[in-house]
Structure 1
Amino acid sequence: MASPAMSRSPLQRLSTFKSTAAATPTTATATPTPLSPVPSHLDTFSSDPIFSAFLSPDFNPTQFSTAALSSGSAASRIEKLQEGLRLLDTQLRHEVLSRHQELLHQLSSVKAAESSLSSLRSSISSLQSSVRHARSELSDPHRVISAQTHQLNNLHSTSLLLQNTLRTLRLIHKLRNLVDSQPDASKWDLSKAAQLHYEILILYNESHLSGIDVVDAELKWVIGSAPK
C-alpha cells in the first residue's frame, strides 16, 4: 500500500519545500507562517569572479572550460559550479513557494485569455466569411449599376446636346427668316438681328456644338450674314 507521502499531489509536495535558512517545524494544526524572504543569490553571483562570467552576454563555454583546465583548478571549479547550482535551486524553490498563488492566478488568467482569444478568432473568421459572402453578392449588382449609371450619363449628355443643337438651329432659322423677309439690308431690324446673332454664337460655344456638321454649316452662313 502506498504511503501517504507518495499519494500527495505535486502542489502538496511543493508546499513542503523550505529554505534551509528559514525553515521551522510546524504541526498539522499550526497556522502556517509566511516564508521569510531569502536574499537572491544572483546578487552575489554578479560580484563572484567565477559566476560573474556566466552573466556576461558574451559568455563562451568553450573558453571557460579551456581556462579552467589550463589553470589546473578544474576540480575546484566544478565543485564551485555545483555549489552554485544548489544555491540557484534553493532560490528557485523559494520563489515558486512564495509566489505560487500569484503564479496559479496568472495561469488561470492566461487560460481565460486564451479562451477569449480563441472565441475572438472564431468571431473574426465568421465575420470575414460574411464579408466575403456579402462582397460576392454585391459585386455583380454593383457592376450592373455602374454600367447603367454610365449609360444614363451618356443619354443625358446626348439629350442635352440635341436640345442645344435644335435650339441653335431654331435661332438660325429665325435669323434666316429675318434676313430673307427683307432683301434690303438697310431695312433690317438690326437690334433683333444682332440679338439673334449673339445668342447663336453664345449657345454654340457654351454647348460645345463644334463638330456637328449641320450646325457648322449653318454657322458659316450666320458669320457671313452678320450686320456690318
Structure 2
Amino acid sequence: MKIVVVDDQKLLRQSLAVILDHEPDLTVVGQAGDGAEAVLRARATQPDVVLMDVRMPGVDGLEATRRICADPVLGGTRVLVLSMFELDEYVYQALQAGASGFLLKDAPPEELVDAVRRTGRGESLFAPSILTRLIAHYVAAPRPERPAGAVRDLTQREVDVLALIGNGLANDEIALALGIAVKTVKTHITHLLAKLSARDRAQLVIAAFNAGLVRPR
C-alpha cells in the first residue's frame, strides 16, 4: 500500500513516515510540507492513501483534499485527515471535501497504522466520539431541503442499510439489526457505492444525512 505523508512540521512528518515505512505492507512514496505540494506528490505517485494534515500555510489540508478527491487521475487515492484539533467544523469540511477518515495526532502509532490500512481498504474511519457529534450536528441543524435524490433508485433494503451506515454501525452490527448475513450487507454496500457514485463509506454517511435517513438514537 503506497502512502504520501503531508504535514508542515518536518520532524513530525518524517516521524510519521518512519512509523508507516516500518510496516512490511506499507511504503511511503512521498512527503509534502503543504497542500499544493501534496497534490503534486499525489499526482506523481498515485498513492493508495494520503495522510493529510489540516492546518498548513498556503493551501491547507482541506483544500488539498478537495483537489485530490476531485482529480479523475486519483480515483483510487483516499485521504485520511490528521489533526491536533477535534473540531466539528474540520470533520464536516473534511467529509465534504471527500476525506475517508479523520484521526487525531495524539493517536498511538498502532492506531495510526491500522487507520491507514483501513482507509486504503476503502473503509470509513471516524473516531466514534467524532461521528456521534457529527450525527448530532446534522440532525439538529435546520435543513429546509432533505431531498430523497438518488435514494429513489434504491431498494428498501438498500435504504435500510444506508440509514444504519449513517448512524455509524459497522457491517456486523448492520447484519444483526436487519437479520441478514454480513456477506449480504457487503453486497448491499457495493450496490450503494455504485448507485450513489460514492467512493467509500464516508460518502455513504453523507448520502444518508442528505437523504434525511439519520435519526437520533
TM-score of Structure 1 vs Structure 2, range by shorter chain? under 0.3
Q: Which has the higher strand share?
A: 2
Normalised to the residue count of structure 1, the TM-score between the two structures is 0.19
Q: Which has the larger radius of gyration?
A: 1
Normalised to the residue count of structure 2, the TM-score between the two structures is 0.20
Q: Which has the higher helix share?
A: 1
